[in-house]
Amino acid sequence: MRIPLFNMLRRSPLENTLKHSEKVAECAPLFVKAVESYFHGEREEFELIKEEIRDIEAQADRIKRNIRSHLPPSMLLPFPLPAFFAFLREADKVVDCVKNSLYWMSYFNISLPSEIQRDYLSLVRTVGDYLGLLPEMVRRGHVYFDSRMEEDRRSVKNIVREIRHREKASDDLEKTIIVRLCATEEIPPKTFFVMIRLVETTGDIADHLENAADMMRALISR
Amino acid sequence: MSAELSIIVLAIVAGAYMAWNIGANDVANSMASAVGAKAITLRQALVLATILTFLGATFVGSHVAQTIRKGIIDSEAIGDPRVILVGLLSALLAASLWVCLSTYKNLPVSTTHSIVGAMIGFGLVAGGPSVVNWLQVAAIVSSWIISPLLSGLTAFLLFRFIDRLILARMETVKGAVTTAPILAAATIFIMTLSLFLDTPLGKRMGIQGAEVLVIPGLVTVLSYFISSMVLRYFVLRSKFRTAEEIFRYLQVMTSCYVAFGNGANDVANAMGPLAGIYFIVTQGSVSDTAPVPTLMLAFGGFMICVGICTWGYRVIETVGSKITHMTSIRGFTVEFSAATMILGASMLGLPVSTTHAAIGAYIGVGLARGLEALDLRVVWKIMLYWIITVPVAACTSVIIYFILSTIFLGR
């Protein structure tokens, strides 16, 4: 059967990007649950969730590779291809950081003063909430590129602003934990080192999400 | 069965196949984007395409078709009517075969350029290079660049215009209230002008020179005021929420126009050589132009409609539901740009193809960042097929000519 003119029209890469971002967001509740299990001493549960997140990360990676390999430079898109790849890279780093945070926790049994533990859980919950904004941002972006209407563009801009705002909140929490860690003398050096890396890696989740939002802002520029 | 009768039967089959192809592919393309944008349903598209194509082919299709399409070869230099008879049949069969192959390969080729290429092939073997109008060949080669370039430029500018004046506003309807009547009037101008410009209707009404602009001009002014008033009336009653809803109506208009135009213009590709063969068999002489009986045009129109109803609906359905989501604004931009370019080129006497113009328009909208994803590799492949259409059709025509002349002319 012949579909002449329309053979050259392809589906938007944002369709698969949405699937990728949904995979990333799927990690959010699991991440929170894993950290809670860890601090409740349920190591088996923690390990199971960690493996589940590793699987999700692998799936997200496959989707990302699929998107990249189906976007040759000959594809004419409504946004610059390098900016889109940068967006995808940043979105993918989010799930990498979730996985890496859990890996830092799994290297040895971290024992923390209760207030630092509480602050870290608070950081994890903040970041976990925040991950849900990624698929929503991609969905709105897709709607905008389909309609090209200013109203839809504003809706993307609103969520970009919301992500920036939330990143600032998580950044403040990250700094607070680091200050507390430095101020607490009784923390063993190994725990201190792992906690610094853990807090930084968890903070990176928010940073990469903010970078992805910045790239989305560049994609929708008129 | 006599040789003449065999030739006529073969010519009818080839002409019918050519007309079927036009319906299955080209007309389907005109309606597919409107279905894709959900401006009309598949059933409505089929009904509209069938009626308009038949009307276009039967009533506006040229009654005096150029038997040697686009004057590409000098028939007088060849002389022998029997040679031209076999040549016309070879050309028709070669063009049909080429269109058939490209249909199989999922690539759009111009039916006009296929028949022209086939004519060149037959002209070269029957009368040598001197019978071929090389200036006309050069014009066709230039049209491979000119038609996509001009329609692409029109589409690019039009999409940017719509983007800036309508889509970039928070309330797109407000932007459309002032802009859409201008676009509606421009569409109506193109449609009415092409009805009178160099058409049997225009000739019957005795319209000549600048007079051709009078009726379209008046209709355009009138349509501007009417569409403006109607639009304001409905906007005040909150009938439209977005500009997209307004553009649905404009898109249906342009889709109908393209279907009508396809019927009117392309029926000659299938019926012109057939009319030429019929003329030679009945009159025993050659003419650059031959009267095409209304019945023959109706037959061509009917076969185009069969093409729409047999394969065309599948093309429309696939494009409409599976391939991509086309908004009405994009569909309108593509069709309006292609139609404008075709009209402009016709006024300049350039042999352009609707398919080429439409592809150029898609690239134009894509460059204006209006499409979600457009694969330029497919575009290059399509363009390669445009270029090889003429030589391949010519070579096929030569082979068929040798076979047929052995059978019918005993050479």
pLDDT value of position B53: 84
Radius of gyration of chain A from Cα atoms?
A: 20
Q: Is B168 exposed, middle or buried (0-12, 13-18, 19+ CB in 10 A)?
A: middle
Per-residue pLDDT of chain A (222 residues; tens, 9 = 90+): 344 566 677 888 999 999 999 999 999 999 999 999 999 989 999 999 999 999 999 999 999 999 998 888 888 899 999 999 999 999 999 999 999 999 999 988 888 888 899 999 999 999 988 888 999 999 999 999 988 899 999 999 999 999 999 999 899 999 999 999 999 888 899 999 999 999 999 999 999 999 999 999 999 997
Given an 8 Å threshold on Cβ–Cβ distance, is A3 in contact with B315? yes
What are A129's two structure tokens? 């909430």
Given an 8 Å threshold on Cβ–Cβ distance, is B319 in contact with A11? no
pLDDT value of position B64: 46
pLDDT value of position B62: 62
Query: Do the Cβ atoms of B260 and B52 come closer than 8 Å?
Result: yes
Residue ranges of chain B whose pLDDT lies below 50: 64
Query: Do the Cβ atoms of B262 and B30 come closer than 8 Å?
Result: yes
CA distance A20 to chain B (A): 18
Given an 8 Å threshold on Cβ–Cβ distance, is B167 in contact with A9? no
Domain residue spans in chain A? 13-70+78-219
Query: Do the Cβ atoms of B335 and B258 come closer than 8 Å?
Result: yes
Q: Is B99 exposed, middle or buried (0-12, 13-18, 19+ CB in 10 A)?
A: buried
Q: How many CA atoms lie within 13 A of B272 on its CB side?
A: 27
Angle in degrees, CA B144, B145, B147, rounded to 5: 75
CA distances from A217 to A139, A214, B250, B273, B348 (A): 14, 5, 32, 58, 46
Given an 8 Å threshold on Cβ–Cβ distance, is B372 in contact with A222? no
The A residues from 129 to 148 touching B (CB cutoff 8 Å) are 145-148
Handedness of CA B254, B255, B258, B263 (dihedral sign): negative
Contacts of A70 in chain B (CB under 8 A): none
pLDDT value of position A219: 94
Given an 8 Å threshold on Cβ–Cβ distance, is B372 in contact with A146? yes
Best of B318, B372, B374, B384 to mutate (most A CBs within 10 Å, chain A): B372
In chain A, whose CA is at the least distance from the CA of B32?
A6
Contacts of B378 in chain A (CB under 8 A): 7-8
CA distance B224 to chain A (A): 25
Whether B22 and chain A come into contact, CB under 8 Å, resolves to: no
Q: Tell me how far apart the alpha carbons of residues B13 and B17 are, in angstroms, rounded to a whole number.
A: 6
Query: Do the Cβ atoms of A57 and A98 come closer than 8 Å?
Result: yes
What are B208's two structure tokens? 């000549």
What are A214's two structure tokens? 């910045």
Q: How many CA atoms lie within 13 A of B396 on its CB side?
A: 24
CA distances from A179 to A52, A172, A176, A184 (A): 32, 11, 5, 9
* Number of Cβ atoms within 10 Å of the Cβ of B79: 12
Least Cα distance to A175 among A214, A129, A123 occurs for: A123
Whether B379 and chain A come into contact, CB under 8 Å, resolves to: yes
Contacts of B29 in chain A (CB under 8 A): 4-6
Given an 8 Å threshold on Cβ–Cβ distance, is A150 in contact with B167? yes
Whether B314 and chain A come into contact, CB under 8 Å, resolves to: yes
Amino acid at B268: A
What are A7's two structure tokens? 């053979």
Contacts within 8 Å (CB) and 24+ apart, B278-281: B278/B8, B278/B11, B279/B67, B280/B81, B280/B84, B280/B85, B280/B88, B281/B4, B281/B7, B281/B8, B281/B85
Q: What CATH architecture applies to the domain A13-70+78-219?
A: Up-down Bundle (1.20)
Amino acid at B296: M
pLDDT value of position A6: 66
Confidence (pTM)? 0.83
For residues B217, B218, B219, B221, the Cα torsion angle rounded to the nearest 10 degrees is: 90
pLDDT tens per residue across span B176-204: 888 999 999 998 998 888 777 777 677 77
pLDDT value of position B320: 58
Helix, strand, or coil (residue B288): coil
Best of A5, A77, A158 to mutate (most B CBs within 10 Å, chain B): A5
| B243-283 and B111-127 helices, crossing angle to 10° | 30
CA distance B103 to chain A (A): 6
Buried b (16+ CB within 10 A) or exposed e, A116-129: bbebbeebbbbbbe
pLDDT value of position A1: 36
Handedness of CA B68, B73, B78, B83 (dihedral sign): negative
Query: Do the Cβ atoms of B18 and B109 come closer than 8 Å?
Result: no
In this prediction, does ipTM exceed 0.85?
A: no
In chain A, whose CA is at the least distance from the CA of B107?
A4
DSSP B21-68: HIIIIIIHHHHHHHHHTTSS-HHHHHHHHHHHHHHIIIIIS-SEEESS
The A residues from 71 to 130 touching B (CB cutoff 8 Å) are 72, 74-79
CB neighbours of B105 closer than 8 A, spacing ≥ 6?
A: B385
Handedness of CA B98, B99, B103, B107 (dihedral sign): positive
Q: Tell me how far apart the alpha carbons of residues B275 and B69 are, in angstroms, rounded to a whole number.
A: 12
